[in-house]
Amino acid sequence: MNSIVAIVGRPNVGKSTFFNRLVQRREAIVDSVSGVTRDRHYGKSDWNGKEFSVIDTGGYVVGSDDIFEGEIRKQVQLAIDEADIIIFVVDVEQGITPMDSEVAKLLRKVKKPVFTAVNKVDNAMRAADAVEFYNLGLGDYHTISSINGSGTGEILDAITDAMPEPEVEEESEKEDLPRFAVVGRPNAGKSSFINALIGEDRNIVTDIAGTTRDSIDTKYNRFGFDFNLVDTAGIRKKSKVKEDLEFYSVMRAVRTIEYSDVVILMVDATRGFENQDQNIFWLAEKNRKGVVVLINKWDLVEKETNTLRDFEAEIKRQIAPFTDVPVVFISVLNKQRIFKAIETAVEVFENRKRRIATSKFNETMLEVIKNNPPPATKGKFVKIKYCMQLPTKTPQFAFFCNLPQYVRDPYKRYVENQLRLHYDFTGVPITIYFRQK
């Protein structure tokens, strides 16, 4: 289970630049996904062989400069509750401000590792000025310059030392069972969905508290399927503040999504597919998890001839280019199609494990490519000679060719669409690489 590292601090101290520096090291590889990365405030990083998630709390505060102190305090409190490690960024040019002292006061009570990063230290004079930050009462500090990267290696060494050793996953029955995470905005009907599934006569075989504090990983046997439900139904609205809630749901979704195979994203039909739903969708996509979208409370929507079709088309438009995702319309209250929802999640789980024999794969895909080869660039023709599925946990494919650098995104999307046409990868993000033979 990856650690979550949260970056906190007042506006304009360079949190986002520091965040970008931490995630870019892998982002180039992780995000060779067509389209842009939708969520700029969440990323993955690794250092010394430990992978971890990074969250830039500043990104979730709306109204940056004239931000209220209360807002920042809330961000810090959320980071304290949800993250495993906290990086507190301060600015050497400004010295300790009253706001910094406030944040430090909150952080001094925390039992988790807290690292102070004094930013904008790019010469010896400023390094001497940084001594002032001992007054925050948080012990030693690290001097960094997020613009040019000096000092980041040292602070990353310290952070990864504070993380637990990566666990070697044991192949156990629990591992083999599909893990379905039920996520979504507060009030979308997650708790009711889980209760409807297990009913009063819960057939619970084991009830394992997951590695996270609040995701309960419960083994159920219903409808002849065995699966683990990762339940985040406990997320309640912490307050009425929109930004706060936005940040909170993303924070919690990160944990749950990383801990699952298939993400069941519940959407409230009466509110439509909102920004926050998109954020959670892209988190699942970015973590290469299977996805099923459930539209709950469908019984409350006024219907005309094409209501369902239009609603689905609108969702597909918002999640493009990854549109090969099942959308199931349900009503938890009336127990309509909740069985179908779980059946679909099991199908997506199977799709995610699908392996294609190399000979069959070459037969099909080379034929497709022959009929529509990559367009020539600068008079150079790309010849694709061989392709295979890589031995990875999630579906990834390599196409070997003479000039991989000339294969453009539209053609990669074409190949992905053809691949989806011939093989069932519904609900599963797939990665395609073009490599030098």
- How far is the C-alpha of 384 from the C-alpha of 398, rounded, in Å? 10
Only one residue has tokens 């199609």, namely: 337
HSE-up of residue 301 (Cα within 13 Å, Cβ side): 21
Hey, what amino acid is at 96?
A: I
Residues placed in the known binding site for GTP: 9-16, 56-60, 119-122, 184-191, 231-235, 296-299
Phi-psi region of 24 (alpha: psi -120 to 50; beta: other; left: phi over 0): alpha
- How far is the C-alpha of 425 from the C-alpha of 72, rounded, in Å? 42
- How far is Cα of residue 348 from the mean position of the Cα atoms in its chain? 18
Residues placed in the known binding site: 9-16, 56-60, 119-122, 184-191, 231-235, 296-299
CB 267 within 8 A of CB 188: yes
CB 362 within 8 A of CB 419: no
HSE-up of residue 87 (Cα within 13 Å, Cβ side): 31
CB 321 within 8 A of CB 354: no
Instruction: Read off the tokens for 221.
Output: 């046997």
- CA 158-159-163 angle, to 5 degrees, is 115
